[in-house]
Amino acid sequence: MAVHAHPDDESSKGAATMARYVREGAEVLVATLTGGERGSILNPAMDRPEVLANLAAIRRDEMARARAILGVEQRFLGFTDSGLPEGDPKPPLPEGSFALVPLHEAAAPLVRLVRDFRPHVILTYDETGGYPHPDHIKTHQVAVEAFEAAADPDQYREAGGEPWQPLKMYYFVSFHQAKYVALHEEIVRRGLESPYAEIFAEWEERSRKRLERGDRPLEITSRVNAADYFGIRDDALRAHETQIDPNSSWFACPRDVERMAWPTEDYHLARSLVDTELPEDDLFAGVRESVTL
């Protein structure tokens, strides 16, 4: 189970991993906590008044196309997108936003979904949300709460369902410096123009801000080779037309470069109730042995 804040997050983080495991016979469910109603339109071709007026419905349609491409199941949990507050000082979040929902209330639908779907592995964001969007941070909190509470029959009785204990929880480590350095170096080695110069120029400032917040880079404990599924990931990304510009930096790196220089999607093992040896190349390491014994 992959737990995400908005439609499109599932296609930008861990999508090739999900596509691989589905095609290897695993059941994969994406839990999408909000409808993405307050997202910006990031594709100029879709920046039209009629799209903005129907954004919630359009984003649901985009999610339906993306989940079909990936081959996953998917559920919306019904919370309202908080939006990304901007300005100094930042404005308060709109009333009723997901990030303002009390933790117990926010986690209850996910607890029920965990009990119903019975996942062995849960994927989600780290404490920072991957970036400081209030919905991503709340998604982390909700996912951790569900991982810890779903097996306890005395917790979330109102949520219903038979208790179930997931065995492993991972955080996405999707956008990190080592990956982009490797891509950049391979592009340069081939005599091509690297699209990552601007990223490197911004990296020091981002690193400084993370350190000021007390954030530390996550250790990559687990690397899943998903190179054969990058094309499926890209198709799923393009399905989110309001969010993904097909001419944007998402697709700036030639895919043969990416397959050569960084063929994995990367994770941090945050919790495990089974024995496993790090580093891993399989998110089900230790689970397969535990389930089949």
List, as residue ranges, the binding site for Zn(2+). Answer: 6, 9, 136
Distance (Å, whole) CA 109 – CA 115: 10
Beta carbons of 159 and 108 less than 8 angstroms apart: yes
- Name the DSSP letter for residue 31: E
Sheet containing strand 222-225, strands side by side: 73-79, 29-34, 2-4, 121-124, 168-172, 264-272, 222-225
Q: How far is CA 98 from CA 92, 141, 263, in A?
A: 13, 12, 35
Closest CA to 196 of 183, 213, 212, 209: 183
- Residues annotated in a binding site: 6, 9, 136
Distance (Å, whole) CA 46 – CA 60: 15
